[in-house]
Structure 1
Amino acid sequence: MGRSKKDFMQRIFGSSALAALRHRNFRLFYFGQMISVIGFWMQNVAQSWVVLEMTNSPFLLGLVTFVQFVPNLAFSLAAGVFADRFPRRTLIVGTQTGFMLLAFLLTVLSGTGALRYWHIVFISSFMGILHAVDIPARQAFLVEMVGREDLSNAIALNSSMFNAARVLGPALGGMVLARYGATTCFLSNAVSYLFVIAGLLVMTIDKRVIKQQKKDMLTQIKDGINYIKTTPTVLIPMALLASVSISAMNFGVLVPVFARTVLGQGPEGFGVLVSSLGTGSLAGAMVLVVFGNKCNQLKFLWAGAAGLSLFQILLGQMQWFWPSAALLAGAGWSMVSLSASVNSIIQMQVPDELRGRVMSIYSLSFIGLSSVGGMLAGAVARWFGATVAFTAGGSLALLVTLWLARRWHLAKCSYGS
């Protein structure tokens, strides 16, 4: 019976583009996470709109993004050590349970009419601490579900899942927000975490051999940093992601401001714009699933960074709704091409014993620094408008991309050949 079931799954997921889905554990993770991420984006859309209505301040909206993700700056390096020291599934179950409880708290506060701006800041900061532990643990956990052979495909499929949810979540969130209010969005997110927690608990995971470390935490963090510094094919992609994250991955702050002040849109129009960004991201992720082999990853890396920069510059010149949606779709494609390519390039090289620490620095570069960039973009939008913020961020990202591309060429880095 077990063999026939395995053969059945082999026939369904026999394509190399779906190779990681042959693994039962990854299927449980994939579909549970999809439901959970849809809920997350529903809450994210509702929370952004609620903050903007409460404060009418792009800067204070940027502050919420900042406090939600700034713990990555403070805790992600230590969290990487935890991901290498302790069972990763246990860590993820703990963080997902924490997210669920915070979403229920937000639901109660909103439903009773007691929700205030400082509540959202407080809850967002606790979510940020959980994200700091969750992200490196989840990224490092992929290899335990599928093995190194199917790891690159798992990363691409995981990205496609995230971005499919990113399309559905904001669109659904915008409709629910407009018709039923923010409380329903918050409750939907809280319930969605039950699916991913259940999937994690029923997995059958081989016990990972964890080497007992006699080094202190600081020394272990330094080991991860030194690996990156001495490996140019990891260092330059990581630096590219960090630079573009802080300068051009500011959509969570700028899109609601842009929708409201430049395009004159309400919640549903805002949801369409965020969904356009997600649609482009999903398209980029699906292209990576099919064509994102080792030989093509560098092409997606540099095209993603350059494309994201250019689309942001063009958004800064735009005042029409549907062309803006199209540009956001292009930006979404570029963003996922860059981030997923960096993820794959790093994970295919890093030793397993350093995986958690290196992926914590990836998390810091991608999530932590984008929160700093979001706050800076919110400040620019407050004083000069969203169009100036888009133009300035895209221009800076383009200059950094060109400089790092030259560094890569001069270093004669070899990857994927």
Structure 2
Amino acid sequence: MTTTGAQAAPAAGAPGGSSAWAPLRHTWFRRLWLAQLASSMGGWMQTVAAQWLMLTLTRAALPVALVQTALSLPVVIFGLPAGALGDVMDRRRLLVTAQAVMLVVAAGLAALTFIGLMSPWLLLAFTFLIGAGGALMAPTWMAIQPGLVAREEIPQATAVNAVNINLSRAVGPAIGGVVVAGAGPAAAFGVNAASFLGVLFTLIRWPHRPEPRVLGAEPFLAAMRTGMNYVRYSPPVQAVLVRVSAFLVFAVALWALLPIVAARQLHLGSAGYGMLLGLIGVGAVIGTAFLTEARDRFGLEAVVRACTVTFGLGTGVVAASRLLWPVVVVLPFVGAAWVGGMSSMSAAAQTSLPSWVRARAMAVYLLVFQGTQALGSVLWGAFAQHYGVALALGIAALGVVLGPLAGVSYQLRLGAHYERDIVDVWPEPIMAPREGHDSGPVLVIREYKVEPPDVEKFEDAMRMVRDSRRRFGAHRWNLYHDAADPTRYVETFTTDNWQEHLRMHGERMTKADQLIEDQALRYVHGEPRTMHFISAE
């Protein structure tokens, strides 16, 4: 299974004093967790083997950095469609398909490497295909986790998943380095192919029941557009995307250039490189153990800033060091800072998302996450090839340390339950029977009566209503006041069709949206009058 730090998102502390490991009591959460652990370890072995094989095929910095790009770029290309698929089709079927694709590709990579037919471009192509399978499944894998445990255990479940990813980061690279040194890259590729079998078998046996959809599945293209609109008008998600980009565009330099540091600056072999990655993983596991307490004590924003600065300082030490011991000392701190920063930012996004759009919104998060890594790896690889690895890492370290300045305007926080809970408070709209009634677009008009002293407050509150409506499906929103009657206001918006409007009524509106609307209605006299019009074209 292809996974990233973005998927390991610990949330708030365990509610009600429940054990942090409580989710593992659930049979299918535990089985999928164990299968993911084995597959993630195989994925790290794959990464170590691919980077080291590329280093033996060509000594240039750019091709080595392109291995990371080949893994990350598929999310940019396929991430959003994959998120839409995860929200509109059977999630188990999608996950099984993705696992089967990655199994076949990984086996082909192992076979071609074993018989000596691998080339730099062919290695990048196979790495890209494995990344494509991971891109197809990643948003859906993140979306199914809350359904595997009790509702009150969701924060612990995300924390336990963080331990999974970081444990595989600690063990997988070290094993991969030993396997590459003892049996060659083909053996590591073969182990990765075998690791997909465990997840595939577990998913096939998982007694998953597709979520009931009274209104049926959303059309694919419409689902993609709705997901993008949700992200566009969601301030908590926007803040996460800005902060992730500001951090990763510099932080990715360390991941892209660490194989070259190991080989040229520290004169290590593949086993030594695996050991360096293992140290990062050990630090990540240790950091996870203290992460919840740190966030409870200091707040999520303070933790992210501290982790960002720590990662930048650690990158600076790696850039300047020509001895092994300073790098060995600093890399566990780098690992702890990485998981602390990235998982906290991911938690801020996940805890703000309702279930109906979770896969799509997290697909956008992953798109930014992996897209920044893909672009950054190319840029830092090209820069290092022309100006040297030490200078590239030094500049990147400075950029990471200065990154928290982005937090001045984009503060991070954990979402509350009312931002995720769906409510059904709007009365069912009445439609007279007519052939072709599901065509569109649909125009919705709401009339409000507002007294002059409350006009300014009402208009301010309706700006929040505007973004709320757009988040769960409205287009072309406007607010008008009557030129002849200053107490009369009219709100208008459209939806694609009648089915889409019904989804707004019963499947998308959250408690947070209701509170926003209630705030505006405080300044309204009487009940608003609502009218629905369907296009006659």
TM-score higher than 0.5: yes
Superposed displacement of residue 312, structure 1: 1.6
TM-score normalised to the size of structure 1? 0.89
Q: Which residue of 1 aligns with 2:102?
A: 99
Secondary structure in 2 matching 1:249: helix
Asked which structure has the greater CA Rg, the reply is: 2
Superposed displacement of residue 258, structure 1: 0.6
Whichever residue aligns with residue 92 of structure 1, its letter is: L
Q: Are 2:254 and 2:393, in contact at CA under 8 Å, matched by a contact in 1?
A: no
Q: How does 1:106-145 map to 2 (within 5 A)?
A: 106-145=109-148
Q: Does 1:247 align with 2:211?
A: no
Q: Are 2:283 and 2:335, in contact at CA under 8 Å, matched by a contact in 1?
A: yes
Q: Which residue of 2 aligns with 1:57?
A: 60
Q: Are 1:32 and 1:196, in contact at CA under 8 Å, matched by a contact in 2?
A: yes
1:365 aligned to which of 359, 363, 368: 368
The CA deviation string for residues 78-117 of structure 1, in whole angstroms up to 9 with x for no partner, is: 1111111112222112111211111111111111122222
Q: Which residue of 2 aligns with 1:5?
A: none
Q: How does 1:165-314 map to 2 (within 5 A)?
A: 165-210=168-213, 212=215, 217-288=220-291, 296-314=299-317
Contiguous gaps of at least 5 residues in structure 1? 1-13
Q: Are 1:103 and 1:186, in contact at CA under 8 Å, matched by a contact in 2?
A: yes
Q: Which residue of 2 aligns with 1:71?
A: 74
TM-score normalised to the size of structure 2? 0.70
Q: Which residue of 2 aligns with 1:348?
A: 351
**C-alpha distance in 2, partners of 1:215/1:140?**
17
Supply the RMSD in Å over aligned alpha carbons: 2.3
Change (3 A) 1:248 1:88: same
Q: How does 1:78-97 map to 2 (within 5 A)?
A: 78-97=81-100
**C-alpha distance in 2, partners of 1:414/1:32?**
31
Superposed displacement of residue 323, structure 1: 1.3
Q: Are 1:23 and 1:146, in contact at CA under 8 Å, matched by a contact in 2?
A: yes
Q: Are 1:278 and 1:332, in contact at CA under 8 Å, matched by a contact in 2?
A: yes
Q: Does 1:156 align with 2:198?
A: no
**C-alpha distance in 2, partners of 1:102/1:215?**
31
**C-alpha distance in 2, partners of 1:49/1:263?**
15
Change (3 A) 1:134 1:54: same
| Higher percent of residues as strand | 2
Q: Does 1:317 align with 2:320?
A: yes
Superposed displacement of residue 147, structure 1: 4.5
Superposed displacement of residue 179, structure 1: 1.4
Superposed displacement of residue 237, structure 1: 2.1
Change (3 A) 1:266 1:214: closer
Contiguous gaps of at least 5 residues in structure 2? 1-16, 417-537
Whichever residue aligns with residue 165 of structure 2, its letter is: F
Identity among equivalent positions (%) equals 28
Superposed displacement of residue 213, structure 1: 6.7
**C-alpha distance in 2, partners of 1:203/1:95?**
16
Change (3 A) 1:196 1:294: farther
Whichever residue aligns with residue 320 of structure 2, its letter is: Q
Q: Are 2:254 and 2:315, in contact at CA under 8 Å, matched by a contact in 1?
A: no
Superposed displacement of residue 151, structure 1: 2.0
**C-alpha distance in 2, partners of 1:243/1:120?**
30
Change (3 A) 1:300 1:131: same
Superposed displacement of residue 324, structure 1: 0.8
**C-alpha distance in 2, partners of 1:221/1:195?**
31
Whichever residue aligns with residue 407 of structure 1, its letter is: S
Whichever residue aligns with residue 374 of structure 2, its letter is: S
Whichever residue aligns with residue 209 of structure 1, its letter is: P
Greater Cα offset, 325-334 or 281-290: 281-290
Q: Are 1:246 and 1:371, in contact at CA under 8 Å, matched by a contact in 2?
A: no
Change (3 A) 1:109 1:165: same
Whichever residue aligns with residue 270 of structure 1, its letter is: Y
Q: Which residue of 1 aligns with 2:408?
A: 406
Q: Are 1:296 and 1:416, in contact at CA under 8 Å, matched by a contact in 2?
A: no
| Higher percent of residues as helix | 1
Higher RCO (CA < 8 A, seq sep 6+): 1
**C-alpha distance in 2, partners of 1:215/1:61?**
41
Superposed displacement of residue 139, structure 1: 0.9
Superposed displacement of residue 170, structure 1: 0.9
Q: Which residue of 2 aligns with 1:8?
A: none
**C-alpha distance in 1, partners of 2:232/2:305?**
20
**C-alpha distance in 1, partners of 2:127/2:214?**
34
